[in-house]
Structure 1
Amino acid sequence: MSMLPSHARTVIIGGGVVGCSIAYHLAREGRKDIVVLERSKLTSGTTWHAAGLVRRLRPSATLTKLINYSIDLYKELEMETGQQTGFIQTGSLSIATHEDRLTTLKRQVSLGRAFGLEAEVVDAKRAGELWPLIRTDDVIGAVWSPADGRVNPSDVALALSKGAKARGVSFFEDTRVTGLRKSGGRISGVEVGEHVIEADEVVIACGLWSREVAEMAGAHMPLYACEHFYILTKPLPEVKALGRGAHLPTLNDQDAFLYARDDVEGLLVGSFEPNAKGLPLSRLPADFSFDLLDEDWDHFTPMMENALRRIPALETAEVRMLLNGPESFTLDSQFMLGESPDVPGLFLMGGMNSSGIALAGGAGKALAEWIIAGHPTMELNEADIRRFCPEMNVLGALEARIPEVLGRHYDISYPGLAMDTARGQRRTPVHGALYDAGARFAGMAGWERAVHFGGEAAHFPLTFGAPAWRDQVGAEVAACRDGAAIIDQSASGKIMVQGPDACAFLNRICANQMDVAPGRIVYSQILNARGGIESDVTVQRHGPETYLMITSAGEVVRDLMHMRREKGTARVEITDVTSGWAIIGLAGARAHEVLQKASAAPVPALKPFGFSPVEVGLARGFAGKLSYTGQAGYELYIPSDMAMAAHDALVAAGASHAGLYATGSLRIAAGFRAWGHELSPDTTPHEAGLKRFCAWETDFIGKAALADHTPQRQIATLLFDSPDAIPIHDEPIWFDGHVAGQVTSAAWNYTHGRTAALAMLTTPLDRLRAGQIVDLFEVEIACTRFSARAALAPLKDWKT
Structure 2
Amino acid sequence: MTLPTHARTVIIGGGVIGCSIAYHLAREGRKDIVVLERSKLTSGTTWHAAGLVRRLRPSATLTKLINYSIDLYGELERETGQATGWTQTGSLTLASNQDRLTNIKRQVSLGRAFGLEAEVVDASRARDLWPLIEVDDVIGAVWSPSDGRVNPSDVALALSKGARARGVQIFEDTRVTGLQKIGGRISGVEVGDHVIEADEVVIACGLWSREVAAMAGAHMPLYACEHFYILTKPLPEVQALGKGAHLPTLNDQDAFLYARDDVEGLLVGSFEPHAKGLPLDRLPADFSFDLLDEDWDHFMPMMENALRRIPALEKAEVRMLLNGPESFTLDSQFMLGESPEVPGLFLMGGMNSTGIALAGGAGKAMAEWIIAGEPTMELNEADIRRFSPEMNVLGALEARIPEVLGRHYDNPFPGRSMETARGQRRSPIHAGLAAAGARFEARGGWERAVHFGGEAAHLPLTFGAPAWREQVGQEVETCRSGAAILDQSAFGKIMVQGPDACVFLNRLCAAQMDVPEGRITYTQILNAKGGVESDLTIQRHGPETYLLIVGANETVRVMQRMRDTRGDYRAEFTDVTSGYAILGLAGAQARDVLQATTNAAVPDLKRFYFAPVEIGLARGWAGRLSFTGEEGFELYIPADMAMAAYEALVAAGASHAGLYASGSLRIESGFRAFGHELTPGTTPLEAGLGAFCAMGTGFVGENALRDHKPERRIVSILFDDPAAIPLHDEPIYFDGKVVGQITSAAWSYRFGRSVALGLINAPLDLLETQDVLDGFEVEIACARYTVKASLKPAKVAFA
TM bin (shorter chain): over 0.9
Map 1:22-171 to 2 at 5 A: 22-171=21-170
Letter in 2 for 1:76: E
Counterpart for residue 343 of structure 2? 344
Map 1:254-653 to 2 at 5 A: 254-653=253-652
Distance across 2 between alignment mates of 1:598 and 1:474: 27
**What SS does the aligned partner of 2:381 have?**
helix
**So what's the TM-score if we normalise by structure 2?**
1.00
Letter in 2 for 1:400: A
The answer (yes or no) to whether the contact 1:205–1:348 under 8 Å persists in 2 is yes
Name the Cα RMSD after superposition.
Answer: 0.6
Letter in 1 for 2:309: R
CA deviation after TM superposition for structure 1 residue 697, in Å: 3.4
Gaps (5+ residues) in structure 1?
none
Distance across 1 between alignment mates of 2:599 and 2:578: 27
- Alignment deviations for residues 179-226 of structure 1 (CA, whole Å, 9 cap, x no partner): 000011000000000000000000000000000000000000000000
CA deviation after TM superposition for structure 1 residue 45, in Å: 1.1
- Alignment deviations for residues 150-202 of structure 1 (CA, whole Å, 9 cap, x no partner): 00000000000000000000000000000000011000000000000000000
Letter in 1 for 2:417: A
Letter in 2 for 1:475: Q
Distance across 1 between alignment mates of 2:558 and 2:774: 39
Letter in 2 for 1:129: D
Counterpart for residue 729 of structure 1? 728
CA deviation after TM superposition for structure 1 residue 599, in Å: 1.4
Counterpart for residue 194 of structure 1? 193
CA deviation after TM superposition for structure 1 residue 799, in Å: 5.0
- Alignment deviations for residues 5-28 of structure 1 (CA, whole Å, 9 cap, x no partner): 000000000000000000000000
Distance across 2 between alignment mates of 1:770 and 1:532: 26
- Alignment deviations for residues 335-367 of structure 1 (CA, whole Å, 9 cap, x no partner): 000000010000000000000000000000000
**What SS does the aligned partner of 1:433 have?**
helix
- Alignment deviations for residues 342-399 of structure 1 (CA, whole Å, 9 cap, x no partner): 1000000000000000000000000000000000000000000000000000000000
The answer (yes or no) to whether the contact 1:771–1:793 under 8 Å persists in 2 is no
**What SS does the aligned partner of 1:224 have?**
strand
- Alignment deviations for residues 34-92 of structure 1 (CA, whole Å, 9 cap, x no partner): 00000000001100000000000000000000001001110111001000000110000
Counterpart for residue 676 of structure 2? 677
Letter in 2 for 1:711: P
CA deviation after TM superposition for structure 1 residue 769, in Å: 1.5
Distance across 2 between alignment mates of 1:799 and 1:129: 49
The answer (yes or no) to whether the contact 1:668–1:756 under 8 Å persists in 2 is yes
The answer (yes or no) to whether the contact 1:400–1:422 under 8 Å persists in 2 is yes
Distance across 2 between alignment mates of 1:279 and 1:446: 22
Letter in 2 for 1:295: E
Distance across 1 between alignment mates of 2:343 and 2:752: 50
**What SS does the aligned partner of 1:704 have?**
helix
Counterpart for residue 177 of structure 1? 176
Distance across 2 between alignment mates of 1:599 and 1:384: 45
Distance across 2 between alignment mates of 1:39 and 1:129: 46
Counterpart for residue 657 of structure 1? 656
Counterpart for residue 747 of structure 2? 748
Letter in 2 for 1:560: M
The answer (yes or no) to whether the contact 1:97–1:139 under 8 Å persists in 2 is yes
**What SS does the aligned partner of 2:75 have?**
helix
Counterpart for residue 251 of structure 2? 252
- Alignment deviations for residues 760-791 of structure 1 (CA, whole Å, 9 cap, x no partner): 01111011122431111110000000000000
Distance across 2 between alignment mates of 1:341 and 1:799: 43
The answer (yes or no) to whether the contact 2:233–2:319 under 8 Å persists in 1 is yes
Is the alpha carbon distance of 1:191 and 1:799 closer, same or farther for their aligned partners in structure 2, counting shifts above 3 Å?
Answer: closer
The answer (yes or no) to whether the contact 2:53–2:150 under 8 Å persists in 1 is yes
**What SS does the aligned partner of 1:569 have?**
coil
**What SS does the aligned partner of 1:451 have?**
strand
Distance across 2 between alignment mates of 1:771 and 1:441: 41
Letter in 1 for 2:263: V
CA deviation after TM superposition for structure 1 residue 414, in Å: 0.2
Letter in 2 for 1:691: G
Distance across 2 between alignment mates of 1:599 and 1:501: 38
Counterpart for residue 241 of structure 2? 242
Letter in 2 for 1:72: D
Gaps (5+ residues) in structure 2?
none
- Alignment deviations for residues 230-280 of structure 1 (CA, whole Å, 9 cap, x no partner): 000000000001111110000000000000000000000000000100000
The answer (yes or no) to whether the contact 2:718–2:798 under 8 Å persists in 1 is no
**What SS does the aligned partner of 1:338 have?**
strand
User: Which range is displaced more, 765-774 or 189-198?
Assistant: 765-774
Letter in 2 for 1:58: R
Distance across 2 between alignment mates of 1:599 and 1:405: 47
CA deviation after TM superposition for structure 1 residue 564, in Å: 1.0
Letter in 2 for 1:474: G
Distance across 1 between alignment mates of 2:200 and 2:600: 57
The answer (yes or no) to whether the contact 2:619–2:641 under 8 Å persists in 1 is yes
**What SS does the aligned partner of 1:381 have?**
coil
Counterpart for residue 204 of structure 1? 203
- Alignment deviations for residues 640-686 of structure 1 (CA, whole Å, 9 cap, x no partner): 00000000000000000000000000000100000000000111000
Distance across 2 between alignment mates of 1:447 and 1:491: 7
CA deviation after TM superposition for structure 1 residue 734, in Å: 0.5
2:756 aligned with 1:757, yes or no?
A: yes
The answer (yes or no) to whether the contact 1:778–1:785 under 8 Å persists in 2 is yes
Distance across 1 between alignment mates of 2:704 and 2:55: 34
The answer (yes or no) to whether the contact 2:772–2:798 under 8 Å persists in 1 is no
Distance across 2 between alignment mates of 1:337 and 1:718: 33
Letter in 1 for 2:420: T
**What SS does the aligned partner of 1:383 have?**
coil
Distance across 2 between alignment mates of 1:717 and 1:262: 48
Distance across 2 between alignment mates of 1:208 and 1:696: 47
Runs of 4+ in 1 over 6 A off after TM superposition: none
**What SS does the aligned partner of 1:554 have?**
coil
Count of aligned positions: 799
CA deviation after TM superposition for structure 1 residue 699, in Å: 1.3
2:779 aligned with 1:777, yes or no?
A: no
Letter in 1 for 2:580: W
* % identity of equivalent residues: 78
Distance across 1 between alignment mates of 2:7 and 2:84: 29
Distance across 2 between alignment mates of 1:771 and 1:219: 52
Letter in 1 for 2:57: R
Letter in 2 for 1:47: T
Distance across 1 between alignment mates of 2:697 and 2:204: 41
Letter in 2 for 1:792: L
The answer (yes or no) to whether the contact 2:771–2:797 under 8 Å persists in 1 is no
CA deviation after TM superposition for structure 1 residue 630, in Å: 0.3
Counterpart for residue 668 of structure 1? 667
**What SS does the aligned partner of 1:276 have?**
coil
- Alignment deviations for residues 530-576 of structure 1 (CA, whole Å, 9 cap, x no partner): 11111001000000000000000100000000001111111111000
Letter in 1 for 2:394: L
- Alignment deviations for residues 594-634 of structure 1 (CA, whole Å, 9 cap, x no partner): 00001121101000001000000000000000000000000
User: Which range is displaced more, 607-616 or 692-701?
Assistant: 692-701
